[in-house]
Each structure stands twice: as C-alpha cells, then as structure tokens.
Amino acid sequence: MINKKNLLILAGGAVLVGFLTTAATYPGQPQYKFGGTFIGKGAGTVWTALQIPKSADGLTAALRVNYTSFGADIAALGAAFGGETWSDFVGEAVMINRDTMKWTLVGYAQAPGPQKEQMIKGIAVVFGTMQYSDADHAVLHYTTTMYPAAADADHDGVPDPGATPAVTIPDITDTAQRVPIFQ
C-alpha cells in the first residue's frame, strides 16, 4: 500500500539516485549552465552573443547573436541572395551533456526596400554545438545553410517544411570567450 510516508521515501530515493548518477557520471566536474555574454571569432568574423536562460536549472536558453564584423566570405554569402546587411540571429539552445550545448539560430540577409525598410533577401539557418573548455571559453562547431526568401512562402520567418537550402557550408569552427568584468 502506498501511503504518504512511502511516497516520500520513494521520491527521496529517486532524487538521491538522480544526484548520485550525475555525480558518478561527472565526478568533480561542473555542469555548465546558460547565462551571460560571449564574444566569438572565426575566419575573419567577430560576433557577440547573449545567452538568456529559459529554465531555472539553466539548461535551456534563448540566444541572440550579432555580427560585429565579418569578412568578404560572409558579405558574399549575403550578396549572393541580394542582401547588403545581416540581421541579428536569434535561436534556442539546450545542454546535451555537462559541457556541451546544441543550438539553432535564424538570421536574415537584408537589403533596403523602396521605402528604405529592410527586406529579407535570404534566410540563414545555422546549427551546431558549443563545448565549454572552462566556464569562460568554448569552441563552436557548426553548419550554415542559406535559403532564398521565397523558401518562406507563409512568411513566418523560417524556411517552409521541405525547403532545400541553396547553400550549405559545413564544418565551421569558431572560438568564444565570456565577456569579463573589467575593473
């Protein structure tokens, strides 16, 4: 018979098993959590990122990434779709183990329209992993895919299901560091 006392014992046992399993899996190693700002670089590009935790445990996050500067390759990628500038990128991330997150971002190659408004010319969908080497440094491995704006026929901001990327650039590596507090 399950009464209140037995239920509490079972719940306490489940929590203890979960704690011991986590401690045994990563003895003496911290679980990295989302939050804060990073500056990243790779292949002539510098970007900033904001990680906003979505859950109390810090294991899911909303992301916002902004190109601070980029090389001719990134400019040419946007220009191939008629873009002159890049929007911020936004997305989601989840920790998949103690030191690695999996993430997806969406951003837009843009150009001024007839009224000087920004028009979407291409849609970038970027996905990959970020692995912390310590609490303040990480390495990113990712793929960038580009779609023409027409791949979003329903205008919801992402390529429609079944759309095929016009360009896929795999095996990109960047490094990132947390923005420190300067004294």
Per-residue pLDDT band at 9 (split at 50, 70, 90): very low
The pLDDT assigned to 6 comes to 45
| Least reliable range by pLDDT among 3-17, 87-101, 145-159, 161-175 | 3-17
Distance CA 140, CA 94 (A): 14
Identify the burial level of 28 via C-beta atoms within 10 angstroms of its C-beta, where 0-12 means exposed, 13-18 middle and 19 or more buried: exposed
- 170 vs 6, which has greater pLDDT? 170
Residue 178 has pLDDT above 50, yes or no: yes
Distance CA 111, CA 148 (A): 13
- What are the angstrom distances between the C-alpha of 171 and each of 16, 32, 61, 140, 143? 40, 24, 23, 10, 6
**Three-class DSSP category at 175:** strand
- 27 vs 176, which has greater pLDDT? 176
Prediction pTM value: 0.82
Query: Residue 9 in contact with residue 140, Cβ under 8 Å?
Result: no
* Domain range 32-178, CATH class: mainly beta
